[in-house]
Amino acid sequence: MNEKIIPDIVVGRLPLYLRALQYMLQEGRHVTSSQELGERLGVSAAQIRKDLSQFGEFGKQGTGYGIDSLINEIRQILNLTIDWDVAVVGVGDIGTAVTRYRGFANRGFRVTMIFDSDPAKIGAQVGEFTVQDSANLETVLRTANVQVAMIAVPASEAQQVALQLVSAGVKAILNYAPISLNVPPGICVQYIDPAIHLQRMTYYL
Amino acid sequence: MNEKIIPDIVVGRLPLYLRALQYMLQEGRHVTSSQELGERLGVSAAQIRKDLSQFGEFGKQGTGYGIDSLINEIRQILNLTIDWDVAVVGVGDIGTAVTRYRGFANRGFRVTMIFDSDPAKIGAQVGEFTVQDSANLETVLRTANVQVAMIAVPASEAQQVALQLVSAGVKAILNYAPISLNVPPGICVQYIDPAIHLQRMTYYL
């Protein structure tokens, strides 16, 4: 199903559809329409139908989408049918918050290990995890075959950690450090920087 | 300078340029080029020149950009010449992390008040702030003329908090709750949901 090339912008909308559908399911709903989904998300119904049609036939004219089956389809498209193990590097406020975050449950991810280079933090407990020494990061990740990681170290250390992760076999990095990373082709990086999001809005104020 | 309509995608790249330039300044640099900036950001030099040209004349062919002056120009464009007061609603792990986050300094924002509805949290201290009762949110924000807020409450409460913020006069909301918000036209919303970012990458794994 992933053989045809789908624009990245469409791929980027699928997680939003998935989140809304899972929320509807929690509300006890079982059927929805592109109209209703669009209203929840501030996207047009036509856009949703067009996006989903890239991946095959979902739903029927007049009867709408079965929420359970659409969730399953999107999870398959996004490779979320099993949970990915995630390593967290950096155990400051953000690393701690993200390690304890319960919002990953049922969304395809589970934090399985955390690292820091600060001797005062190594060995400490965060939630159910013991902080491991970043010096062992490559060996530990490679042994456990971890392909997804989150960077929550200071900006000055982030690039070096990114290269360590890549050399450990990590393919997808979510970076909380406020700096752009240089990684080899084929490695995915996404960024979370609240100041960037805020600055984008103040232009309009 | 904001009179001409600039595509939102260009506006969205300016904070990334600003962040890279501020980082260069910290490194003691004073001049850069679209080439160098592009390499740091994984964007073409032509793209950067084209984006900046939308806002006027910056830099000179051959001599590059003065980093200090380009920072000042971008801060003016994005309305970041003074710090915006920011209210945080929800004092769980994420609200706490974002309240204590030092990465807003020198980037146009400062958290000035935090709220929660949990009686066990109201009155507690987080960093330099005392947690205030969400019931007073509208009055307090309106009095202080706060226009920027971050939502860090559970998904089930986020929509109601968003409407409270809007009615208090907030114009820009950064939402950490994993749910899409419905707000009136003219209100800016940006989202931070780490699962969404991770799901967007696993498609490619």
Nearest-CB residue to A198 (from B19, B172, B182)? B172
Q: Do B198 and A109 touch (CB under 8 A)?
A: yes
- CB-CB: which of B2, B98, B182 is closest to A194? B98
Please report, in tens digits, the pLDDT of each residue of chain A (205 residues total). Answer: 445 678 888 999 999 999 999 999 999 999 999 999 999 888 899 999 999 988 877 766 667 899 999 999 999 999 999 999 999 999 999 999 999 998 898 899 999 999 999 999 999 999 999 999 999 999 999 999 999 999 999 999 999 999 999 999 999 999 999 998 999 999 999 999 999 999 999 999 9
First to last CA, chain B: 43
Q: Say whether B94 and A77 touch across the interface (CB within 8 A).
A: no
| Contact (CB<8Å) B15/A195 | yes
Q: Under a CB-based contact definition with an 8 Å cutoff, are residues A90 and A153 in contact?
A: yes
**Residues of chain B contacting residue A169, judged by C-beta atoms under 8 Å apart:** none
Cβ–Cβ contact B2 with A under 8 A: yes
Q: Of A205, A181, A187, A97, give the one whose Cα is nearest residue B19.
A: A181
- The Cα–Cα gap between A170 and A147 comes to 4
User: What does each C-alpha distance from B21 to A192, B8, B69 come to in angstroms?
Assistant: 18, 21, 10
Quick check: B202 and A155 CB within 8 A? Answer: no
Which DSSP state fits B81? S
Asked if the C-beta of A77 comes within 8 angstroms of chain B's C-beta atoms, the answer is yes
Nearest residue of B to residue A78, measured between CA atoms: B203
**Minimal Cα–Cα distance from B78 to chain A, Å?**
4
Q: Which residue of A has its CA nearest to B172?
A: A201
Residue A152 touches chain B, beta carbons under 8 Å: no
Pairing between strand A172-175 and B125-126? unpaired
Which of B198, B204, B205 should be substituted to probe chain A, the one whose Cβ sees the most A Cβ atoms within 10 Å?
A: B198
**Pair type for strands A129-133 and A31-32:** unpaired
Distance CA B54, CA A202 (A): 18
Other beta carbons within 10 Å of A191: 19
Which B residues, 157 through 196, put their C-beta within 8 Å of a C-beta on chain A? 171-172, 174, 178-180, 182, 188, 190-196
Q: Is B153 on the interface with A (CB under 8 A)?
A: no
- φ and ψ at residue B191, rounded to 5 degrees: -125, 140
Residues of chain B with pLDDT under 70: 1-4, 59-62
Q: Report DSSP state, residue B1.
A: -
Cα B122-B123-B129 angle, rounded to 5 deg: 105
Chain B: closest CA distance from residue A6 (Å): 10
Q: Name the region of B123 (left: φ>0; alpha: ψ -120 to 50; beta: rest).
A: left
* Helix, strand or coil, per DSSP, at residue B137: helix
Tokens 């209203």 sit on residue: A39
In this prediction, residue A57 carries a pLDDT of 73
- The residue type of B50 is K
Q: How many secondary structure helices (H) and strands (E) does chain B include?
A: 8, 9
Tokens in use for A16?
A: 């939003």
**Residue A59, pLDDT score:** 65
Chain A partners of B80 at a C-beta cutoff of 8 Å? 199, 202
Find where tokens 């509805």 sit. Answer: B117
CB contact under 8 A, B19 and A97: no
Residue of A nearest to B37 (CA): A180
Q: What DSSP letter does each residue of chain A carry, written as one string?
A: --SSPPPHHHHHHHHHHHHHHHHHHHTT--EE-HHHHHHHHT--HHHHHHHHHTT---SBTTTBEEHHHHHHHHHHHTT-SSPEEEEEE--SHHHHHHHH-STTTTTTEEEEEEEES-TTTTT-EETTEEEEEGGGHHHHHHHHT--EEEE-S-HHHHHHHHHHHHHTT--EEEE-SSSPPP--TT-EEEE--HHHHHHHHHTT-
Give the strand pairing for B129-133 and B125-126. Answer: antiparallel
Report how far residue B96's alpha carbon sits from residue B27's, in angstroms, rounded to the nearest whole number: 30
Q: What is the DSSP string of B144-196?
A: HT--EEEE-S-HHHHHHHHHHHHHTT--EEEE-SSSPPP--TT-EEEE--HHH
ipTM summary value: 0.93
What is residue B61's predicted lDDT score, i.e. its pLDDT?
Answer: 65
